[in-house]
Amino acid sequence: MNRGLFFLATVVLAWGLTWPVNKVILVSLSPIWTVAIRSAVGAAALFALSIALGRLSVPPRDDVPVLLSLALLHMVGFGVLGSVGLSLVPTGRSVVLAYTTPLWVMPGASLFLGERLTARRAIGVIAGLLGLAVLFNPLAFDWTSRRAVVGNAAILAAAFLWAASILHLRAHRWRSAPFDLLPWQSLLATVIITGLALAVEGIPTVDWNPTLIALLLYAGVPGTALAYWAMAMAGKSLPAVTTALGLLLAPVVSVVVATLWLREPLTPPLVIALVLIIGGVALGTSAPRQSNGRAEP
């Protein structure tokens, strides 16, 4: 198997399993403490991996703004809001909503970065929005349930923050490799989230058992550190479009695992929404073919 495809498959499986794993962790830990401990484990693993690869270095001053942006918007904002939403919403629905992020990146890139919003991308956004409309069908969605409204709103807000961090990442002029900033981003995020957890919830009372420890180690090591490293390795060997489209299999893995492991119902609206949203993202991120068989840049 091509090394790039192997690393991409590793990322898909790691991130695809992370959502169901986090759902189980939330039975024992509060949403904020779940993210804080997972982030701490991930930061430790990222520092160890960076040292082992000989890539640990102090971030250059020019990369500090994007380091802060990715730490605050993605690791803290997306992480905490996504965890809060996941504690209130089924796993399948949560991951489908979270992966609407590229739908917000497309118009955002056109508005703030001057990227052309092609007809292909516009159709992709429309398809994704139709998927959201299926999920939020007024006849099927319980708008009177505070739990459902808050949970879904939290995950959509998380997706917006993730999209904002992606837009900043695209606009930034990098001085170092993105992977080299990850340990420092994770360390900063861990400090902030831990402080937030202590301020909001205090010291947690947890029944530490082998299963919970194993799940937290999975979420922090394969689900965070190794997944980011494999993502960097895949990006070196594969075209950006191939990587982007391959990652769309992650929510599919999450939905399948949630159905088989957590016994969550696989409802028709969820399946339709998954197809529309993932299909819309795939359409918007894929490159059309020219007549000579080459993809447009």
The beta strands (E) that lie in the chain are given as none
CB atoms under 10 Å from CB of 154, counted, come to 23
Tokens at 125, concatenated: 């956004």
The answer to whether residues 280 and 127 touch, using CB atoms and an 8 Å cutoff, is: yes
**Run means of pLDDT, 10 residues per run, the chain, 297 residues:** 86 96 97 97 96 94 94 96 96 94 90 88 92 84 89 96 92 89 96 97 91 96 93 82 85 95 93 94 73 37
Q: Which residue has the tokens 């189980």?
A: 24
Tell me the three state secondary structure of residue 295. Answer: strand
- The predicted pLDDT at position 289 comes to 53
The answer to whether residues 70 and 185 touch, using CB atoms and an 8 Å cutoff, is: yes
The answer to whether residues 45 and 224 touch, using CB atoms and an 8 Å cutoff, is: yes
What residues contact residue 238 under an 8 Å CB cut-off, 6+ apart? 2, 4, 5, 8, 246
Distance CA 262, CA 28 (A): 15
Tokens at 228, concatenated: 């980011």
Distance CA 218, CA 294 (A): 40
Distance CA 265, CA 146 (A): 21
- The predicted pLDDT at position 48 comes to 96
Burial 34-55 (b: 16+ CB within 10 A, else e): bbbbbbbbbbbbbbebbeeeeb
Distance CA 297, CA 294 (A): 9
- The predicted pLDDT at position 197 comes to 97
The answer to whether residues 96 and 273 touch, using CB atoms and an 8 Å cutoff, is: yes
**Geometric angle at alpha carbon 203, from 33 and 30, rounded to 5°:** 30
- The predicted pLDDT at position 297 comes to 29
The answer to whether residues 50 and 180 touch, using CB atoms and an 8 Å cutoff, is: yes
Tokens at 174, concatenated: 């990098």
* N-terminal to C-terminal alpha carbon distance within the chain: 26
- The predicted pLDDT at position 288 comes to 60
Distance CA 8, CA 14 (A): 10
